[in-house]
Amino acid sequence: MISNPVKTIAFNLNGQHVQEDVQSRLNLADFLRQQCHLTGTHVGCEHGVCGACTVLVEGRAVRACLMLAVQVDQKTVTTVEGITPERGLSVLQESFWSEHGLQCGFCTPGVLISLTQLLKDHASPSPEQIRDVLSGHLCRCTGYQNMVKACMVAAKRMRDELASAQAPVLHEVKDGH
Ligand code: FES
Ligand code: FES
């Protein structure tokens, strides 16, 4: 019989400290869904191909079906629930809505997670950079083109919001205040 000992892990999940007893052979995607009840992380292929299970670990996008839950001990994990504001939607989520970047939505949480990382790394991503990220995600029903459009729209809105938030500060510096 294969042994599956239980280990206690402590980690940061969407900004909250979490401590859980976990079977050492349980993968991170099943752990998040079944034990943490965060069902926004989807499971498609279960072998690292479709990207539906993508979450951020230490700020980087990973396939949760290819990681064991015990591997996130003492780390930071962000799921699609964690990138969603308490009220309403994030800029990226709103852009997916306005630009029709989804249909059934099965692939969407993983796509949003990967693009969130891209937008953190690149304020003005090129369509090629966005396509490169999307190449790690399988979508069975919508066109990828609208996802590219949605990400471009979100990036512009985020740049504009940042510029207007910084404008008063720049004026003060210029005026010598
Ligand atoms: S379920 Fe993890 S990549 Fe498909
Ligand atoms: S929107 Fe249906 S799988 Fe992508």
List of domains in the chain: 1-81 (3.10.20.30), 83-167 (1.10.150.120)
Q: Is 171's pLDDT higher than 70?
A: no
Atom of ligand 1 minimally distant from the CA of 53: 2
Residue in 32, 57, 63 to alter for ligand 1 test, most ligand atoms within 8 A of Cβ: 63
Q: What is the mean pLDDT of residues 18-22?
A: 97
Q: Is 177's pLDDT higher than 60?
A: no
Q: Is 157's pLDDT higher than 60?
A: yes
Q: How far, in Å, CA of 25 to CA of 159, rounded?
A: 43
Residue in 49, 99, 102, 111 to alter for ligand 2 test, most ligand atoms within 8 A of Cβ: 102
- What pLDDT, on a 0 to 100 scale, did the predictor assign at position 64? 98
Total-model pTM: 0.92
Considering every ligand atom, which ligand is closest to the CA of 105? 2
pLDDT 10s digits, 43-52: 999 999 999 9
Query: Which residue's C-alpha comes closest to atom 3 of ligand 1?
Result: 48
What percent of the chain shows pLDDT beyond 70? Answer: 94
Q: Please tell me the distance between residue 1's alpha carbon and the centre of ligand 2 in angstroms.
A: 39
Considering every ligand atom, which ligand is closest to the CA of 52? 1
pLDDT 10s digits, 30-76: 999 999 999 999 999 999 999 999 999 999 999 999 999 999 999 99
CA distances to 10, 22, 53, 71 from 25, rounded to whole Å, are: 17, 8, 17, 10
